[in-house]
Amino acid sequence: MFEIPYVYTNPRLSSMLEAKDCTVRSLAIAFNLPYLRAHSILALAGRKHRQGFPFCAYLCGRRILLEHTVSHIRFGYPEYGFGKPKMTLRRFVSSYSSGTWIVLLRDHATVVKDGVLYDCYREKPNRWVRNAFNIDKIRLQITDNRNIQ
């Protein structure tokens, strides 16, 4: 049986009395941000201190966030297809083993980077993945026009 590679990661400062902040931690981990910057970004988006946040609705409305492209996969009927087996965390990690993904489970958000789960909880591998967002750095092509007369 495939065991999900796991790295304990908790960017939250121990001095912060924060709870229900998996969305903040996921944003910080996926974008390599300091926790306080991720916290500020979601506070500006309407997240209240020590409360959950509708992260899927926040990410679905964006194609570009913090100089990264965001693409969405929904694993539910009808988008994913009727009769297909549910996308579990184990299946997701083995199927999408490259790139950076913010993965939304029921009542939790986590990050998978290159096939490794980054979280402060070791999630059960049979948890159902509801949504996943691929985070990819925007690659800008810059041409050198200095030699053009």
Q: What pLDDT digit, counting tens, does each position of 135-146 carry?
A: 987 654 444 444
Q: Is there a contact between 74 and 85 (Cβ–Cβ < 8 Å)?
A: no
Please report whether residue 87 resides in a domain: yes
Please report whether residue 9 resides in a domain: no
- pTM here is 0.83
Range of the domain at 118: 17-137
Please report whether residue 10 resides in a domain: no
Please report whether residue 143 resides in a domain: no
Q: What is the layout of strands, in order, in the sheet containing 129-137?
A: 6-8, 116-119, 108-113, 100-105, 129-137, 68-74, 64-65
User: Three-state DSSP class for 126?
Assistant: coil
User: Domain total for the chain?
Assistant: 1
Tell me the CA end-to-end span of the chain in Å, nearest whole number: 63
Please report whether residue 7 resides in a domain: no
DSSP one-letter string for 75-99: -STTTS-TTSPP-BHHHHHHHS-SS
Least confident of 9-18, 43-52, 54-63, 132-141: 132-141
Please report whether residue 8 resides in a domain: no
Q: What is the mean pLDDT of residues 104-133?
A: 92
Please report whether residue 144 resides in a domain: no
User: Three-state DSSP class for 5?
Assistant: coil
